[in-house]
Structure 1
Amino acid sequence: MRSLVVKVTAGAEDAERCNQAFTVAASAVAAGASVSLWLTGEAAWFGVPGKAEEFSLPLATPLADLRDVVLAGGTLTVCTQCAERRGIGADDVLDGVRIAGAASFAEEILDDGVQALVY
């Protein structure tokens, strides 16, 4: 099975697109894939405790539940620049969430057998 890297570029301002990225990432984890979910732009907030719990989208699995599936079986990364622009530091993110930059993202998506999706 190929690895999956998902980048979500939208937060609560585009709830359906944001939730879709988390849903795809969590579904891939549940299917046994190696999954890396990258939070960029306003989605960077969902690496901070309590923020995913505030997110609401009717008829959708709660974002915090999807996030927790990814954290349990994959990796969750907040973009370095996005974090810095929002005043999010390493001490502000959930346990298991890392902060990394574009070079790390490029390295992940250019690896053999990787499928990258951007939402």
Structure 2
Amino acid sequence: MTAGADAPERCNQAFTVAAAALASGVPVSLWLTGEASWFALPGRAEEFTLPHAARLGDLLDAVLAAGRVTLCTQCAARRDITVDDVIEGVRIAGAPTFVEEALGDGVQALVY
């Protein structure tokens, strides 16, 4: 997910699709990159609003409970976000981890 509050519909859609996939029994690994990086911080998802959309904080909680959420290492560094800053359950990892996950057998990557 590359979009944040700068592209609210794409942002919310990514979280909605991730939560829907989990509800359908599909394993989900949601990566936060670019402006979406800010949602790794406490309270940021709760501040986000989009009319007629599910609350982003609730969607993030669902993904954290049943899937995996990762913040891009470089994106975190560019925003001075450290492991001590992020929501419990969010990991910080880089390109090698992303490539390993994205190229796994049976994996389908969606980018928003």
Fold shared, TM-score > 0.5 on shorter chain: yes
1:25-79 per-residue CA deviation (whole Å, 9 max, x = no partner) reads 0100111111000000010010110000110100000100000000000000000
Percent identity of equivalent pairs: 69
Determine the structure 1 residue equivalent to 2:54: 61
Unaligned runs of 5+ in 2: none
From 34, 39, 42, the counterpart of 1:41: 34
- The code of the aligned residue for 2:83 comes to A
Determine the structure 2 residue equivalent to 1:104: 97
Q: How many angstroms apart in 2 are the aligned matches of 1:16 and 1:71?
A: 21
From 8, 11, 20, the counterpart of 2:4: 11
The normalised TM-score by structure 1 is 0.93
Whose relative contact order is higher, 1 or 2, with alpha carbons under 8 Å and at least 6 apart? 1
- The code of the aligned residue for 1:90 comes to V
CA apart distance, 1:82: 0.4
The normalised TM-score by structure 2 is 0.99
Q: How many angstroms apart in 2 are the aligned matches of 1:103 and 1:30?
A: 28
Q: How many angstroms apart in 2 are the aligned matches of 1:9 and 1:82?
A: 10
From 72, 75, 79, the counterpart of 2:72: 79
Where does structure 1 differ by over 6 angstroms across 4 or more consecutive aligned residues?
A: none
- The code of the aligned residue for 1:24 comes to V
Determine the structure 2 residue equivalent to 1:5: none
RMSD: 0.5
Q: How many angstroms apart in 2 are the aligned matches of 1:63 and 1:107?
A: 27
Q: SS at 2:10's partner residue?
A: helix
State the aligned residue count.
112
Higher strand share: 1
Unaligned runs of 5+ in 1: 1-7
Q: How many angstroms apart in 1 are the aligned matches of 2:25 and 2:3?
A: 26
